[in-house]
Amino acid sequence: MTAHQALHRSAPAALLLLLPLVGTAACGQEPDGVPAPAGEAAAPDAAVTGPAAPPAVNGAGLAGLACGAPAPPASGGPLVLDGVFPESVGPGERALAGSVRISSSAAAVDAVVGSSAEVVLVRGGRIVTEPLPQDSVGERVRLVPGRVEELSASVVLVPCDPAAGRTLVPGAYEIHARVLVDDLAGGQAVLVGGPWPVELS
């Protein structure tokens, strides 16, 4: 066989090897390392995560009622928290009981709130009692202008600092309360009310 005949016979095999490459290019696939054509989105390098949870609004953070922490500032916004508490507590009383009222000056809000408010006493600008544990079961409410939702609100009159003893010293204190409002449309409002004065004797 001559060299010319050998070259002639190998030509079809070479064409067959080129056909897969031509077919790949015709399908629009790009080999690794080649950027995608203009107008086409490149594949992401990492998985896309969902949207972040809505931030808390209208008040102090959830960790704002720790023993010895500064008095929480009252929240602002269309939802308002008012308190109804006695102005004085007699000697020997172990708890202070009252209520809080939630009102709205904006559009109607369908939400879930706790069955009671968190309440602390403040003296000298610092929290001196702990809030009572909260029930994990909430209540569905509709907050609309002109309507008031009332929740129970109590606090045990025992110092949160063991070094302070087992009873609060007589004198003037401030009452502060907090309620978490979970909007059914999304988001959470932290309502903080106070200060309301109270005298312990």
Nearest to 149 by CA among 185, 195, 109, 119: 109
Residue 145 phi/psi, 5-degree rounding, is: -55, 135
Per this entry, what is the length of the chain?
201
Write down the domain spans for the chain: 56-200
User: What is the per-residue pLDDT across 145-169, written as a single tens digit (0 to 9) for each?
Assistant: 999 999 999 999 999 999 999 999 9
What residue type is assigned to position 51 of the chain?
Answer: P
3-class DSSP state of 190: strand
What residue type is assigned to position 10 of the chain?
Answer: S
Both tokens assigned to 195: 């200060």
Q: Strand pairing partners for 152?
A: 99, 116
Q: What is this structure's pTM?
A: 0.69
Q: What is the pLDDT of residue 175?
A: 98
DSSP percent split of the chain into helix, strand, coil, nearest 5: 15, 40, 50
Q: What is the pLDDT of residue 199?
A: 97
Please list the ranges in the chain whose pLDDT falls under 50: 1-62
Q: Which CATH number fits domain 56-200: 2.60.40.2360, 3.40.640.10, 2.50.20.10, 3.30.450.150?
A: 2.60.40.2360
